[in-house]
Structure formats: C-alpha cells, structure tokens
A and B are shown apart, each in its own frame.
Chain A
Amino acid sequence: MFFESFSSLIEMNGHGKYVWLCYGIFAAIIIYNFVSPKLTRKQVLKDIERQARREQQ
C-alpha cells in the first residue's frame, strides 16, 4: 500500500475529506443507477399483472 497505516489512508495528508466525499457521492450515484430501474421493473410488473387480471374479468 502507498500509505503506512489505515489512519493515514483516511487522512491522506489533509486531502482525505475531499477524496472520501467524492467517493461517497460516487457510491450514492452508482447505487441509485442500479436500484432505480429495479424499482421501476417491480412497478411495471405489478401494473401489467393488474391490467391483465382486470381484462380477464
């Protein structure tokens, strides 16, 4: 590893807060991009099923 210890990896000579904030934003946006279509899919399946059931009656 480039850093001598775990705490210096977090610290990054004072740049830690900038770097980790960026990676936090990165994680949030990546998670959103994976989760959002999953939730939409669930909703679409529910809507299709409801419509199909209504049409059967």
Chain B
Amino acid sequence: MWQALKRLYHKMGSPKWFYEISGRWTPWFLWIGAALMVTGVVWGLAFAPADYLQGNSFRIIYIHVPSALLSQSAYVLMAVAGLVGLVWKMKMSFIVGKVVAPIGATMAIMALLTGAIWGKPTWGTWWVWDARLTSMLILLFLYFGVIAIYNAIENEEMANKAAAILSIVGSINIPIIKYSVEWWNTLHQPATITLTKKPTMAPEMFIPLAMTILAFYCWFAVWVFARTRNEILWRERRTNWVKKELNLLESK
C-alpha cells in the first residue's frame, strides 16, 4: 500500500506522465460533465418546482452553490499544492497551484455575481457587508494576489514560493467562509446541503443540484488539465518526448 502510494507520488511528479494521463482522462471528464450539466441545468430551470418562499429566483441555486463550493475546493487544492511544492520541492505541484488560481478566481466571481443578483429579489439588496459575503470577497482577492505574484515576479522559484506561502496563509479564510453563517448574524441562509446530513430540499430540487455540482467538478478537472498541459509543454519543450509529441523530430 505504502509502496504503491510512493510510486504514484513519483509518477505524479513526472510531467510526461501527467501530460499523458490527463490527455486520456480529459474526454471522460468533459462529456460526463456535459451530460450532468445539461440535465441538471434544464431540470433546475424548467422542471423543478418553484421554492415556496423565494419563488423562481431560487433556480439560481443550481449555479450559485456549485461555483461557491468549487471556488473553495479549488483554493484548498491550491494551498495543498503549494505546501507539497514547498516541503518536497515538487515542480508539478507548483504548476498545479499556479494554474488553479485563475480558474478559482472565475468561480469566486461567479458565486459573488450570482449571489448578488439573487440577493436583489430575495433580500431587496445586491450587497451587504456581512460575514459570508465579505469572506467570499476576500477569497477572490486572495486568488488575485496569487495571480499577481506570478505576473509580477520573473524568477520562477521566487514566484512559486511567494504564491505558495500566500495560498497557505490565506487558507485560514476557508473555515471562516464555511462557518460565517453560524458564527455571525448574516442575511445569507445556512448551508442548504451538507455531506453528513440528509438534504432538507425535496428530491426533485436536490437531484439537479447534485448533478450541477458534480458537473462543475468534472469541468474543473478539464480546465486544470488543459492549463497544466500548456505549462508542461512549454517547460519541457527541449525534451525529446515533447518534440515527438508535436512532430518536431521528423522535420530534422
């Protein structure tokens, strides 16, 4: 078991291995995600019953909750990748941390915007400076910070270290986001779904939500793979396997 884990870890550290395996997995994540997303969104928009309190505005949940969840999961992945990179000097890990930042930022933007638009008919306001909304805004700024570090610092090693440290320190924000609706008085409703309890939603509302959540995670994998593969190609451009991959050897 330990040996197998160790072997997997060393494989994951190999850019060539990652490039090949991610290329093979991409279509699966892409099309399973697409099937789930189309079904979940159509079901949520046109077939799920309206909420007895919020009416039809609740249909925003099918994109708001997945993007908010994913923006936090992506952050955790970025912080863990940074930690692994720092501790074991694993290059591949830094690459993943780097490419997750812009994707996570788009998810945080989606969660904030859809939340604001949902707030208007539900709370009567686009924005309040309460704990949940403010901590989500901080999450977005943390993503911007990591992106800015990579844009500003030319030296790759320095940029990797600085971004990893910011990611790790900033992860204190994740439990704050999660528990903000319990610790403080907030307009935001408490969690609709949790992993440990049975959903309080009716199944015909909950199943499409589960589908769109899974779909977001599938597509997240596709986006991380695509960006990581770009980074790998560029870094390994002088190696023979990349040249073979791109058919550059034949022209010689």
B118 and A52 within 8 A (CB): no
Which residue of the partner chain, among B45, B46, B103, B233, contacts A48 with CB atoms under 8 Å?
B233
Q: Are A22 and B248 CB-contacts (below 8 A) given A1-B47, A30-B219, A34-B223? A: no
A40 and B237 within 8 A (CB): no
- Bound state CA distance, A9 and B41, in angstroms? 13
Which residue of the partner chain, among A9, A13, A18, A29, contacts B117 with CB atoms under 8 Å?
A18
Which residue of the partner chain, among A1, A18, A41, contacts B121 with CB atoms under 8 Å?
A18
- Bound state CA distance, A40 and B222, in angstroms? 15
- Bound state CA distance, A37 and B67, in angstroms? 19
Which residue of the partner chain, among A12, A38, A40, A48, contacts B56 with CB atoms under 8 Å?
A12
Q: Which of A11-51 contact B (CB under 8 A)?
A: 12-16, 18-19, 21-23, 25-26, 29-30, 32-34, 36-38, 40-41, 44-45, 47-49, 51
User: Is A56 an interface residue when CB atoms closer than 8 A count as contact?
Assistant: yes
- Bound state CA distance, A56 and B249, in angstroms? 11
Which residue of the partner chain, among A9, A26, A29, A40, contacts B230 with CB atoms under 8 Å?
A40
A37 and B243 within 8 A (CB): no
Q: Is the interface of A mostly helix, strand, loop or mixed?
A: helix
- Complex interface: chain A residues within 8 A of B89 (CB): none
User: Is B55 an interface residue when CB atoms closer than 8 A count as contact?
Assistant: yes
B106 and A18 within 8 A (CB): no
State which of B7-15, B108-116, B151-159, B182-190 sits at the interface with chain A: B108-116
Shortest C-beta distance, A3 to chain B (Å), equals 7
B237 and A37 within 8 A (CB): no
User: Is B90 an interface residue when CB atoms closer than 8 A count as contact?
Assistant: no
Q: Are A3 and B233 CB-contacts (below 8 A) given A22-B60, A37-B227, A48-B242? A: no
Minimal Cβ-Cβ distance residue in A for B204: A2
- Complex interface: chain B residues within 8 A of A12 (CB): 55-57, 59
- Bound state CA distance, A41 and B48, in angstroms? 39
- Bound state CA distance, A21 and B48, in angstroms? 19
- Complex interface: chain B residues within 8 A of A36 (CB): 102
A45 and B246 within 8 A (CB): yes
- Bound state CA distance, A15 and B63, in angstroms? 16
Interface residues of A (CB under 8 A from B): 1-3, 9, 12-16, 18-19, 21-23, 25-26, 29-30, 32-34, 36-38, 40-41, 44-45, 47-49, 51-52, 56
Interface residues of B (CB under 8 A from A): 41, 45-50, 55-57, 59-60, 63-64, 67, 102-103, 106-107, 109-110, 113-114, 117-118, 120-121, 219, 222-223, 226-227, 229-230, 233-234, 237, 242-243, 246, 248, 251-252
Closest 10 CB pairs of A and B: A37-B226, A12-B56, A15-B56, A15-B57, A22-B114, A26-B63, A48-B237, A22-B60, A37-B227, A33-B223
List 14 A–B pairs whose Cβ atoms lie within 8 Å, in order of A's numbering.
A1-B46, A2-B48, A2-B50, A9-B45, A12-B57, A15-B59, A16-B56, A18-B121, A19-B45, A26-B67, A33-B103, A33-B223, A37-B226, A37-B229
